[in-house]
């Protein structure tokens, strides 16, 4: 075989070897590309798994008193758990996993915004409630103060609506045959009791006719009877009086004398005299007979 044939065979062999080397190189590059793609997908699954775990922790921190929203958050947490399991499944579509993960992230942002808005609204309502309670308390205290003032004023008016008396002077009277009245402190000579006093001026009380009632209690503790004896109501209690007198009261100091005629011989000792008008006791004095 000549040299040319050898050279041809060698050339063909070199061509075959070159082609096989080129093909092997292409196969290796394809294998490396597939491995890179596979590793990329695996890395993305790991990243998504981590993101889902972080998202789950974020959902765990969400807190709300709204029962409906709390139920929805719990449902989303369950979906995250399911996605975490899907991320570990190498056969699950990575693009679908990404989409579902992004959807849950968007929903979570919405919950965060809603909860923040609700918390702000609750803070406002709490502040408004506290302010309203403070205003109500202030109004209640003011009302109690006004009631107290009104009660005090009414009490003052009620007290001011009662006549008062002063400058008392009481004595026994002996009647002479001539009709002359002679003062005496001797019980045996005393036929009448004279009580004088001043009804004080009062601008609150309406002017006009006023009826005064005198209750005279003798030394034995009994009320002296008289021709005008009767009963009146004083602070819801019936009181017996001995004599009555009508006066014309014109909101000025008015001097009054009331005469009681004894129904029999008066006893020695101390006599207490009470003066009433309008259902109120307006004065008290006493007298001693020997």
pLDDT digits (tens, 9 = 90+) for 67-102: 777 777 777 778 777 777 777 776 677 777 778 778
* Nearby residues of 269 by Cβ (< 8 Å), 6 or more positions away: 187, 218, 219, 220, 288, 289
Of 58-67, 181-190, 275-284, give the lowest mean pLDDT range: 58-67
pLDDT number for residue 223: 95
pLDDT number for residue 157: 46
Residues 209 and 269 grouped into a single domain: yes
pLDDT number for residue 37: 46
Residues 169 and 285 grouped into a single domain: yes
| C-alpha to C-alpha distances, 237 to 231, 252, 270, 283, nearest whole angstrom | 10, 30, 25, 17
| C-alpha to C-alpha distances, 161 to 125, 145, 152, 247, nearest whole angstrom | 51, 24, 14, 17
Q: Does residue 150 surpass a pLDDT of 60?
A: no
pLDDT number for residue 67: 77
Number of structural domains found in the chain: 2
C-beta of residue 184 within 8 angstroms of C-beta of residue 190: yes
What is the distance between the alpha carbons of residues 79 and 85, in angstroms, rounded to a whole number? Answer: 10
Residues 249 and 192 grouped into a single domain: yes
pLDDT range class, residue 31, cuts 50, 70, 90: very low
Beta bridge partners of 15: none
Decide if 62 is inside a domain.
yes
Output phi, psi for 232, to 5 deg. -135, 160
Residues 91 and 176 grouped into a single domain: no
Mean pLDDT of 15-38: 53
Average pLDDT, the chain: 78
* Nearby residues of 152 by Cβ (< 8 Å), 6 or more positions away: none
Decide if 147 is inside a domain.
no
Mean pLDDT of 133-151: 67
Decide if 144 is inside a domain.
no
Torsion region of 208: left, alpha or beta (phi above 0 gives left; psi -120 to 50 gives alpha): left
The last residue of a domain, from among 80, 97, 116: 116
Decide if 269 is inside a domain.
yes
pLDDT number for residue 130: 78
What is the distance between the alpha carbons of residues 290 and 282, in angstroms, rounded to a whole number? Answer: 28
Cα 200 to the center of its chain, rounded Å = 47
| Neighbour count for residue 173 (Cβ, 10 Å) | 18
Q: pTM for the whole thing?
A: 0.49
Domain containing 225 equals 165-289
Q: Strand, helix or coil at 164?
A: coil
Paired tokens of 272: 């207490």
Considering 31-45, 80-94, 261-275, the range whose residues carry the highest mean pLDDT is 261-275
Of 3-12, 22-31, 61-70, 95-104, give the lowest mean pLDDT range: 22-31
Torsion region of 132: left, alpha or beta (phi above 0 gives left; psi -120 to 50 gives alpha): alpha
Q: Domain holding 183: CATH number?
A: 2.60.40.10
pLDDT number for residue 225: 93
Q: Whose structure tokens read 């009470």? A: 274
116 against 229, higher pLDDT: 229
Residues 186 and 107 grouped into a single domain: no
Residues 105 and 180 grouped into a single domain: no
Paired tokens of 217: 């209690």
What are 202-255's pLDDT values in tens digits?
988 899 999 999 999 999 999 999 888 999 999 889 999 999 999 999 999 999
Cα 271 to the center of its chain, rounded Å = 58
Decide if 121 is inside a domain.
no
Q: Strand, helix or coil at 287?
A: strand
55 against 224, higher pLDDT: 224
Q: Does residue 258 surpass a pLDDT of 50?
A: yes
Decide if 53 is inside a domain.
yes
The last residue of a domain, from among 98, 116, 134: 116
């Amino acid at each position: 075989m000549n040299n040319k044939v050898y050279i041809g065979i060698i050339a063909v062999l070199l061509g075959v070897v070159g082609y096989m080397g080129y093909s092997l190189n292409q196969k290796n590059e394809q294998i490396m590309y597939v491995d890179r793609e596979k590793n990329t997908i695996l890395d993305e699954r790991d990243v998504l798994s981590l993101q889902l775990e972080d998202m789950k922790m974020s959902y765990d921190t969400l807190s709300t008193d709204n029962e409906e929203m709390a139920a929805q958050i719990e449902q989303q947490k369950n979906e995250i758990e399911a996605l975490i399991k899907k991320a570990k499944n190498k056969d699950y579509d990575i693009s679908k996993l990404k989409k579902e993960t992004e959807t849950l992230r968007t929903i979570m942002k919405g919950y965060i915004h809603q909860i923040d808005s609700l918390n702000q609204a609750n803070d406002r309502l709490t502040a408004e409630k506290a302010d309203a309670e403070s205003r109500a308390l202030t109004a209640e205290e003011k009302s109690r103060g006004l009631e107290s003032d009104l009660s005090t004023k009414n009490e003052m008016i009620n007290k001011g609506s009662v006549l008062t008396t002063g400058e008392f002077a009481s004595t026994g009277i002996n009647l002479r045959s001539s009709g002359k009245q002679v003062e005496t402190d001797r019980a045996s000579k005393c036929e009448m009791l004279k009580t004088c006093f001043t009804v004080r001026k009062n601008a609150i009380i309406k002017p006009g006719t006023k009826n005064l009632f005198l209750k005279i209690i003798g030394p034995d503790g009994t009320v002296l009877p008289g021709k005008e004896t009767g009963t009146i109501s004083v602070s819801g209690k019936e009181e017996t009086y001995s004599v009555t007198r009508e006066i014309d009261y014109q909101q000025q100091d008015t001097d009054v004398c009331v005469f009681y005629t004894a129904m029999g011989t008066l006893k020695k000792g101390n006599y207490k005299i009470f003066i009433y008008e309008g259902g109120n006791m307006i004065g008290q004095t006493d007298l001693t007979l020997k």
